[in-house]
Amino acid sequence: MESNQSVALIGFGKSNQAVYAYLKSKGIDPVIRVPSNINLPNDAKAIIGKDYLHTSEDIIFRSPVVRPDKIKAKGKIYTEIGYLLEKTPAYKIGITGSDGKTTTSTIIYEILKGETQVYLGGNIGTPLISYLDKMQSDHLCVCELSSFQLFDIRPPLDTAIITGITQNHLDWHKNMREYISAKENILVNSKRLVLSLDMYENRRFTNKEIIYFSSHKPSCFKPNSSYIYVENGKIVFNGNPLLEASEIKLRGKFNLLNYLCAIATTYPLVPLDKIREVARTFSGVAHRMEVVDKIKDVTFIDSSIDSTPSRTNATLSALDLESTVVILGGYDKNLDYTILEKTLSQAKGIVLCGENSEKIYNSINCKNPIFTTTLEEATNVAHSLAKPRGTVILSPASASFDMFENYYEKSKAYRKAINTLK
């Protein structure tokens, strides 16, 4: 980026705030374009109003939630992470998928941490552009990538991972085909791929190293490909047993698959003992199957990050549903909730809270759920239903934007309701 080039930031969320700080450190004074008056830096140049998407600048950084085809621009359009991945000299690992990408990214980071300088970011944590000037060729960059971020880029990655693809974000993407296409942009310019055997076995990839992961032993092994799978309770890599699946502390088949992705990415780059240590000790990421508290033998679990039906299904598969009360509902992303019917029919109770409560109710066709209007009310009702010695889990199968700014805020409200119960 030349100092004489004009730069615009469209949107001023977390990622573009980091871009703004980075550009200012380089002596570049960008224009911030936003639809309404928000908290901007006092000395910022800003264009506010309905024409904020009509740009004349040479370079544009879009907030990931802004579709690039809505922007009228002559200049090159970036996202913060797209620019970082183009410019960093570090070894780049990119992870995407509808479910499991945060956990997989974090496991990979935990395994690699200490081997060299490792940065974790993208769709989670601190925007990585904040560290761009510190990154070196022997460093590692682990990036969780959303479909919003991948929509208009094909990043030059050393290793690309797709944990799996199911329905999500159909309120933003025009259709499922567009959503899948955005996710698969991660594969185009990547040297090494880690892919689900069940999803990608029949796809052809040229000039790429491929590692397939699966919960079962493949029926056949393709030449020039590697395989990591589960056989007789052991995690096996190309026929060599590495560790017992039971050594993984995290529960659930979906977490086993997350570990297969992580091991495929890091082994044999790091010693097997380090992989084992992380498997035995890592207790998961915040807000995903996180045990919050216990009140008179009722356990409360926070899985507020579960923003899709498929994610909720996976989470509930790891629990004893006969003693579990599930709190569901939130902002509708135009998803199909019928896949929850079989799972929820086994639950001890269902409590609905959110703008899509009726839609979920009409989709699951099982035992009568209880409708509530606030998360505090939902928590109280779920507690009563779970007695004695049951479990309450917040696993919304939806986004949180109907009542909350994000799932962190929803989690805070849930925890506050639990503390009030105490």
The CATH code of the domain that includes 185 is 3.40.1190.10
Task: State percent of the chain over pLDDT 70.
Answer: 100
Assess whether 52 and 197 both reside in one domain: no
Q: Show which of 248, 281, 314 is a domain's final residue.
A: 281
Does 313 share its domain with 253? no
User: Looking at the domain assignment, is residue 381 inside a domain?
Assistant: yes
CA separation for the pair 33, 26 (Å, rounded): 20
Band of pLDDT at residue 292, cut at 50, 70 and 90:
very high
3-state secondary structure 336-369: CCHHHHHHHCCCCEEEEECCCHHHHHHHHCCCCC
Residue 281: both structure tokens together: 């000790």
Provide the residue range defining the domain that includes 36: 7-78
Same domain, 51 and 89: no
| d(C-alpha 196, C-alpha 163), whole Å | 7
Q: What is the pLDDT of residue 234?
A: 97
* pLDDT (0 to 100) of residue 37: 76
Total domains in the chain come to 3
Rounded distance, CA 358 to CA 354, Å?
Answer: 9
Is 345 domain-assigned?
yes
Domain limit, last residue, from 78, 94, 129: 78
Identify the burial level of 169 via C-beta atoms within 10 angstroms of its C-beta, where 0-12 means exposed, 13-18 middle and 19 or more buried. Answer: buried
Place of tokens 């923003």: 307
d(C-alpha 201, C-alpha 188), whole Å: 17
- Of the three residues 52, 78, 104, the one that is the final residue of a domain is 78
Residue 2 lies in a domain: no
Q: Are residues 54 and 138 in the same domain?
A: no
pLDDT > 90 fraction of the chain, expressed in percent and rounded: 92
Name the DSSP class of 323: G
**Is the residue at 1 inside a domain?**
no
Confidence at residue 115, expressed as pLDDT on a 0 to 100 scale = 83
105 and 214 belong to one structural domain: yes
β-bridge partners, 54: 72
Instruction: Dump pLDDT digits (tens) for 35-78.
Output: 987 889 988 999 999 999 999 999 999 999 999 999 999 899 99
Q: Is residue 147 part of a domain?
A: yes
List Cα–Cα distances, 35 to 171, 275, 312, 404, in angstroms: 20, 47, 34, 20
The kind and range of the H/E element at 391 are strand 391-394
Tokens representing 35 are 């639809």
| Residue found under tokens 């990979």 | 108
pLDDT tens, position by position, 261-280: 999 999 978 999 999 999 99
Q: Using CA atoms, how far apart are residues 130 and 120, in angstroms rounded to an integer?
A: 12
**Pair 254, 99: CB distance under 8 Å:** yes
- Which secondary-structure segment (H or E) carries 229? strand 225-231
**Of 326, 385, 384, 332, nearest in space to 357 by CA:** 332
Q: Are 329 and 357 in contact (CB under 8 A)?
A: yes
What local confidence, expressed as pLDDT, does residue 1 receive?
A: 73
Give tens-digit pLDDT for 198-249. Answer: 999 988 888 899 999 999 999 999 888 999 999 999 999 999 999 999 999 9
Same domain for 171 and 318?
no
How far is 174 from 169, CA to CA, in rounded Å? 9
Which pair of tokens denotes residue 68? 């690039």
Kindly state whether residues 154 and 195 are assigned to the same domain: yes
What CATH number has the domain bearing residue 323? 3.90.190.20
**Residue 42, domain member (yes or no):** yes
Q: What is the pLDDT of residue 266?
A: 96
- Averaged pLDDT of the chain: 95
For the residues 357-372, what does the mean pLDDT come to? 91
The type of residue at 403 is: M
Whole-number pLDDT of residue 39: 83
Average pLDDT over residues 400-410: 96
For residue 381, what pLDDT band results from cuts at 50, 70 and 90?
Answer: very high
Q: Check whether residue 314 and residue 167 sit in a common domain.
A: no
**Do 73 and 86 reside in the same domain of the chain?**
no
At residue 36, the 3 state secondary structure works out as: coil
**Confidence band for 366, pLDDT divided at 50, 70 and 90:** confident
Helix, coil or strand: residue 332: coil
**pLDDT of 91 above 90:** yes
Supply the pLDDT for residue 196.
Answer: 97
Q: Is the pLDDT of residue 337 over 90?
A: yes
Q: In this structure, what are the phi and psi dihedrals at residue 245, rounded to the nearest 5 degrees?
A: -60, -30
Residues 70 and 64: their CA atoms lie apart, in Å, by: 12
Length of the chain in terms of residues written: 422
